[in-house]
Structure 1
């Protein structure tokens, strides 16, 4: 069974990127996250949405 929410470390591992890169993607608004108390969690659906985005949008979002 897959968990609904992932820790930043788990989400980074799923994407095969560093935790720092994951935080950059969240800060840029490319990956959604939620805060529960003082813990940040990333919905699994947010990772799927990021991967399924049409390519090239990252450069447009950064401009």
Structure 2
């Protein structure tokens, strides 16, 4: 685990950019997920932060890939 990942685990929240890197998706997709209500975020001043538990809940809610 690198230093940045350790810091994210210890603080319990991700910035939008950190979430994008963690999830492997772009900022537009993150904001679309928030708007659709599938991803919960909080505001801290001007910053948008995503609690780690919400990030993991979002990931668990995604459908499993089916091999056909």
Please report the TM-score for the alignment, with normalisation by the length of structure 2: 0.73
Moved over 4 A (4+): none
Aligned to 2:41: 33
Give unmatched runs, 5+ long, in structure 1: 56-63
1:53 matched to 2:61: yes
- How many aligned positions are there? 56
Superposed CA deviations along residues 3-60 of structure 1, whole A, max 9, x for unmatched, are: 31111011011110001111110111101000011111011111100111263xxxxx
- Aligned CA-pair RMSD: 1.6
1:17 matched to 2:33: no
Please report the TM-score for the alignment, with normalisation by the length of structure 1: 0.78
Are the structure 2 counterparts of residues 4 and 38 from structure 1 closer, same or farther at C-alpha, using a change threshold of 3 Å?
A: same
